[in-house]
Amino acid sequence: MRILVTGHYGYIGTVLVPMLLEKGHEVAGIDSDLFEQSTFGEGIVEVPWVRKDIRDVELSDLEGFDAVMHLAALSNDPLGDLNPDLTLQINHLASVRLAALSKQAGVSRFIFSSSCSNYGAGGEELLNEESPFNPVTPYGISKVRVEQDVAKLADRDFSPIFLRNATAYGVSPRLRFDLVLNNLVAWAYATGKVLIKSDGTPWRPIVHIADISRAFIAALHAPREVVHNVAFNVGRNGDNYRIRELAEIVRETVPGCTIEYAKDGGPDKRCYRVDSSKILGALPEFKPQWDARRGARELYDAYRNVGLRVEDFEGPKYKRIDHIKHLLKAGRLGPDLRWTNVQISSSPLTTAAR
């Protein structure tokens, strides 16, 4: 199949693309590549791509593809909070427009990278796909609105699928340090202290990015009647943790470290547990292979190999919000977060120079 991945140079995309290629699919990408200077190590697999803001995608960019896997977005709460209106333009309106154009172009399957952030302040109850939405950030709100609006486009020729990913973790060529397990291991390795920035009580479901990628591939391969206009929580029920439980796993993984609570840490209103039984039952190809302990070891080994420092993951090189602010200050990004000096290639069938 011919697959277009938006955000293919992102945290998940750089892991998903080679897995799609291994399955024999033809893959192309669209990405504005805001984090081209934030590559962690090596391993980015090149495919034909176009450098383009998701807001600027045209019908011609989408023609000839069997499926679109839509990952591109402002990808975390701090970025979403930077300009909430812009977040809704990029994450919500541009995503709905992309889906509509995909449908017009004859794309039969549109797989959207949604989020368990949709549930927001979910409390202690185990939440399934029928549970009410309760997003508490512009990022979470944007994901909810995309699901609601794109679902209306479904018909016999166009099948949207919504994968509500648990909080991701794991090593990637475009590693994110703002994610809870990635961040806890980073602090533990670099300082000897597992720094908890809340009171440690909030629940988080977590899932490795390779397992998220397996979910995308399983949704791609599944019979239409199983996935047509359906939402799935992506994870495993055993991978719901309190933050303090993840901190304990990190303490046991990184030699000589101790747990420390930030002085200004308090309750985090983002608290939810999710039930992932549905995807495990409906998509037998989806077989998660990672758990928190294995993931913590992977992260620790990766950080040790590069000699990670606090100024790396708390500075503008890898910290998403600080990197964007740096590009804005340097004039490389305009206030609308579009590049000011980048030549856009004309077709995803031609590999653009990076």
What is the percent of the chain where pLDDT is above 90?
Answer: 79
Q: Annotate 82-108 with DSSP letters as a single string.
A: H-HHHHIIIIIIHHHHHHHHHHHTT--
User: What is the per-residue pLDDT for 265?
Assistant: 67
Q: State yes or no: pLDDT of 331 exceeds 90.
A: yes
Query: What are 134-192's pLDDT values in tens digits?
Result: 988 888 999 999 999 999 999 999 999 999 999 999 999 999 999 999 999 999 999 99
User: What is the per-residue pLDDT for 304?
Assistant: 97
Q: How many CA atoms lie within 13 A of 290 on its CB side?
A: 23
Is residue 146 within 8 Å of residue 95, measured between CB atoms? yes
User: What is the per-residue pLDDT for 84?
Assistant: 86
Task: In whole angstroms, give the CA distance from residue 59 to residue 306.
Answer: 42
User: What is the per-residue pLDDT for 43?
Assistant: 83
For residues 329 and 123, which has the higher predicted lDDT (pLDDT)? 329
For residues 125 and 58, which has the higher predicted lDDT (pLDDT)? 58
User: What is the per-residue pLDDT for 342?
Assistant: 59
User: What is the per-residue pLDDT for 219?
Assistant: 98
User: What is the per-residue pLDDT for 183?
Assistant: 95
Alpha carbon of residue 176 to chain centroid: 9
Nearest-5° Cα angle at 146, 140 to 148: 105
Q: Report how far apart, in Å, the C-alpha atoms of 61 and of each of 65, 67, 89, 275 are.
A: 9, 13, 20, 36
User: What is the per-residue pLDDT for 105?
Assistant: 98
User: What is the per-residue pLDDT for 81?
Assistant: 78
Q: Report how far apart, in Å, the C-alpha atoms of 351 and of each of 14, 50, 273, 348 are.
A: 16, 7, 41, 7
**Mean pLDDT of all residues in the chain?**
92
Mean pLDDT, to the nearest integer, of 328-333?
Answer: 93
Query: What are 21-58's pLDDT values in tens digits?
Result: 999 999 999 999 999 999 998 889 999 999 999 999 99
Is residue 64 within 8 Å of residue 39, measured between CB atoms? no
Q: State yes or no: pLDDT of 306 exceeds 70.
A: yes
Q: In the numeric block, which tokens belong to residue 133?
A: 């939405």
In sequence order, which ranges of 222-259 are alpha helices (DSSP H)?
224-227, 243-253
Q: State yes or no: pLDDT of 123 exceeds 90.
A: no
Q: Report how far apart, in Å, the C-alpha atoms of 11 and of each of 69, 173, 254 are.
A: 14, 7, 23
User: What is the per-residue pLDDT for 347?
Assistant: 39
User: What is the per-residue pLDDT for 344?
Assistant: 47
User: What is the per-residue pLDDT for 340?
Assistant: 93
- Residues with Cβ within 8 Å of residue 200, at least 6 apart in sequence: 242, 243, 244, 247, 261, 265
Long-range contacts formed by 190-195: CB under 8 A, 24+ apart: 190/303, 190/308, 190/309, 190/310, 190/312, 190/313, 191/310, 192/256, 192/257, 192/258, 193/257, 193/258, 193/259, 193/260, 194/247, 194/250, 194/251, 194/254, 194/257, 194/258, 194/259, 194/260, 195/260, 195/262
Q: Report how far apart, in Å, the C-alpha atoms of 71 and of each of 4, 8, 113, 158, 162 are.
A: 10, 7, 5, 18, 11
Mean pLDDT, to the nearest integer, of 264-271?
Answer: 70
Q: State yes or no: pLDDT of 269 exceeds 80.
A: no
User: What is the per-residue pLDDT for 266?
Assistant: 63
Q: In the numeric block, which tokens belong to residue 301?
A: 């080994």
Q: State yes or no: pLDDT of 295 exceeds 80.
A: yes
Q: In the numeric block, which tokens belong to residue 339?
A: 């590049």
Query: What are 57-87's pLDDT values in tens digits?
Result: 999 999 999 999 999 999 877 777 788 889 9
